[in-house]
Chain A
């Protein structure tokens, strides 16, 4: 069981961190820029970042800041996929720690920046052609399946085995990047907005006046209730 798949509803964590800044250290903005570059160039996808975060030691997941997880995930991915060598990252990091100007000035790729900004404007929709009609309609009672994901999921853990009601059927189909041990992703399928009664999720712990918890759930995860 991965805690990262079951964050919703964890108790005892103390007050919310109400920090409104996006970045709290200058380097965080730089690693975010590297991430967008990797997205725009097709080097990696959100799924790759999420797999890295979801496979972390759960204690580290809760104690590392958001962009610390990104930095670790990006570095590991670039090394594993042959873009960079672990030893050269170590050597360059040491050189920079010893002298901030230890970075050679080179022009890099002229074309890359345009492609990356184009990605930001264009987006990258997971919408695909709908292969078959959605099985459920608005008002249908559905139940999320009970299972343990292999390494990445889009079904929040607290919904497993819980029943809700279809509130909206989204048009089209959307790629579900969850894969099992064979590495094959589930692929395109209908997605529903499902309304869950907080009392069904949390029992007596449900807060008075918390009227509804909505989640967007792939048909892949649903069965009739």
Chain B
């Protein structure tokens, strides 16, 4: 048996953490440092304005507009800002494109740097030290644990967000999607496909 993080949920510990969090928030409120709606507004912001749907729109557009794709890979920050995606943790963006024989994977070995305006907040696996440790040294084995088998002939490139740049993967366009509209393509672009842990969703066969 190895580390299972579910073991770390002890009801008593969680109850204390929840109370301590509420204590801090309520004291900051009483001292006039934050407003009564501050934390709710922040939470709503990430539900409505900064989430992986933004990144999916960027990907779908790059799949359908070769000129946009070229701009996106040359000057990612400007290209995504032109679609309104900019802000905290998205000041400097770099998009790397998967292609036949090349697969990219994103990690932040020092912390959890992530392109908020494109992908929202990082999921737990990305923040967890086990992923951060192992993606650096054995990305192929890590991807297998996510259910993605990268063929032996495909090389893997790993990107560590150790400075100002926040990374996103441009996944390959799935087969059988020729002629599909942006609206049809966007749902194929999963959050994981823009982090490199999975491929864009294949079109359901009928």
Interface residues of A, Cβ cutoff 8 Å to B: 4-5, 7-11, 13-22, 24-27, 29-34, 36-37, 39, 41, 43, 46, 50, 53, 61-66, 68, 71, 74-75, 78, 83-84, 88-89, 92-97, 103-113, 116-117, 119-127, 153-156, 158, 170, 174, 191, 193, 198, 201-202, 205-218
Q: Give the contacts of B111-150 with A (CB-CB under 8 A).
A: 111-112, 120-125, 127-134, 136-142, 145-146, 150
Is B63 at the interface (CB under 8 A from chain A)? no
Seen from chain B, the residues whose Cβ lies within 8 Å of a Cβ on chain A are: 2-5, 8-9, 14-43, 45, 49-50, 86-92, 102, 107, 109-112, 120-125, 127-134, 136-142, 145-146, 150, 152-165, 191-192
The smallest beta-carbon distance between A79 and chain B, in angstroms, is 10
Q: A119 to B140, alpha carbons, bound, how many Å?
A: 38
How distant is the Cα of A25 from the Cα of B3 in the complex, in angstroms? 19
Q: List the 3 closest A-B pairs by CB distance, nearest first.
A: A14-B2, A33-B39, A8-B136
Residues A92 and B27 in contact in the complex (CB < 8 Å), given A112-B33, A209-B150, A214-B157 = yes
Is B21's CB under 8 angstroms from A9's CB?
Answer: no
Which residues on A sit within 8 Å (CB–CB) of B192? 20
The answer to whether B125 touches A18, judged by C-beta atoms less than 8 angstroms apart, is: yes
Contacts of B162 in A (CB 8 A): 154-156, 215-217
Q: A19-B5, A37-B28, A210-B139 are in contact. Are A13 and B158 (CB under 8 A)?
A: no
Q: Closest approach, in angstroms, between the C-beta of B58 and any C-beta of chain A?
A: 17
